[in-house]
């Protein structure tokens, strides 16, 4: 039986609760919120439901809606903490049943785990974070990471997307990154991890990393090398994959990837749906493409490959053979 999915209007209401509660609301953010609220009757209903139950917990929210004292309880206490995260808000809201009984079940899905993540990016967004241990974490667009840092461990759980981590030294607590396929333990300082469909790609940018699967298989990957973590084996990919970190500078650098893989890398930066027809998915691509201007990237692909790219609306793009048989 499928798990219930999180309602998009409810997700949006929680997003805005967190953003408006951060204490740095300006006219631009207020205008964006007003536009979201007016764009769909479901948005206004989700916002009202959230406010009715939480009672306008934060100072910024109080200025937007009248308080309903006594209804928020523990959720208000959590929201008023200066270190409140999106995960805290969702847990509080879920505990109150604000968004219906399916919320917590939905939160246990991949979509829900990403929504609850400690650090996340949205479509078209790249962000870097200074972690408490001095490490530097960078997230590609549409990525989500949970942190488990305490006196005994430093663990990052990549829920979706791609990261680059510059690891601060701490011999007592080696930094680990966990994905759906296994873990990577830093033996050096800097590496890239990408959660792909059914596999994890590891690219070591400095020093070395020990990759391990949940079945106990291990492999040390050295600087300049890469590996693919599959459910039952670790596949060495050889050298020369450091270019995959060029997204840090807004570039998609492709040496000999399939068209399907290139489009997959552009998806987190493109708002519409892109379909690549099966007959052209395997075409090999070389080049450097601008991540922040995916339309230009698609135009460049059409110029260099035997494909046609048709935009049927701002939300639908079809890539197919220029000369269909």
Q: Residues 281-317: pLDDT tens digits? A: 999 999 999 999 999 999 999 999 999 999 887 788 9
The backbone torsions φ and ψ at residue 174, rounded to the nearest 5 degrees and listed phi first, read -60, 135
pTM metric for this prediction: 0.67
Q: What CATH number should be reported for the domain whose range is 250-321?
A: 3.55.50.30
Q: What confidence score (pLDDT) does residue 25 get?
A: 58
- At 101 the three-state DSSP class reads coil
Q: What confidence score (pLDDT) does residue 246 get?
A: 95
Alpha-carbon gap, residue 227 to 217, rounded angstroms: 13
Query: Contact, 39 vs 47, CB < 8 A?
Result: no
* 2.60.410.10, 2.60.120.1440, 1.10.10.10, 2.40.160.20: CATH of 127-242: 2.60.120.1440
Alpha-carbon gap, residue 89 to 108, rounded angstroms: 15
Residues of the chain with pLDDT under 70: 1-7, 18-26, 51-116, 324-325
For residue range 244-263, list pLDDT tens digits in order: 999 999 999 998 899 999 99
Q: Which of 216, 212, 206, 246 is nearest to 227 (CA)?
A: 212
- Residue extents of the structural domains in the chain: 8-116, 127-242, 250-321
- Residues 6 or more apart from 247 whose CB is under 8 A from it? 126, 140, 162, 265, 291
Residue with tokens 């990549």: 158
């Amino acid at each position: 039986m499928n798990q219930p999915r999180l309602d998009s209007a409810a997700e949006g209401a929680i997003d805005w609760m967190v953003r408006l509660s951060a204490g740095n609301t300006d006219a631009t953010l207020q205008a964006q919120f007003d536009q979201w609220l007016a764009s769909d009757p479901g948005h206004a209903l989700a916002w009202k439901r959230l406010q009715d139950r939480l009672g306008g917990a934060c100072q910024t929210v109080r200025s937007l809606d009248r308080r309903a004292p006594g209804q928020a309880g523990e959720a208000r206490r959590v929201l008023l903490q200066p270190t409140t995260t999106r995960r805290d808000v969702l847990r509080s809201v879920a505990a109150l049943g604000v968004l219906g009984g399916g919320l917590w079940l939905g939160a246990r899905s991949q979509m829900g785990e990403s929504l609850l993540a400690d650090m996340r990016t949205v479509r078209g967004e790249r962000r870097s974070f200074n972690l408490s241990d001095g490490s530097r974490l960078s997230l590609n667009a549409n990525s989500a990471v949970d942190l488990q840092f305490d006196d005994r461990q430093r663990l990052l759980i990549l829920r979706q997307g791609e990261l680059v981590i510059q690891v601060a030294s701490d011999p007592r607590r080696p930094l680990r990154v966990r994905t759906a396929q296994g873990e990577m333990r830093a033996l050096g300082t800097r590496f890239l991890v990408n959660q792909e469909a059914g596999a994890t790609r590891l690219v070591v940018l400095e020093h070395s990393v020990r990759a391990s699967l949940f079945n106990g298989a291990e492999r040390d990957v050295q600087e300049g090398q890469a590996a693919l973590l599959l459910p039952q084996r670790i596949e060495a990919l050889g050298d020369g994959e450091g270019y995959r970190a060029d997204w840090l500078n807004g570039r998609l650098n492709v040496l000999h990837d399939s068209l399907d893989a290139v489009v997959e890398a552009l998806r987190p930066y493109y708002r519409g749906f892109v379909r690549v027809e099966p007959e052209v998915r395997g075409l090999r691509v070389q080049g450097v493409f601008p991540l922040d201007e995916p339309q230009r990237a698609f135009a460049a692909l059409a110029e260099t490959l035997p494909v046609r790219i048709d935009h049927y609306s701002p939300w639908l793009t079809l890539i197919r053979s220029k000369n269909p048989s």
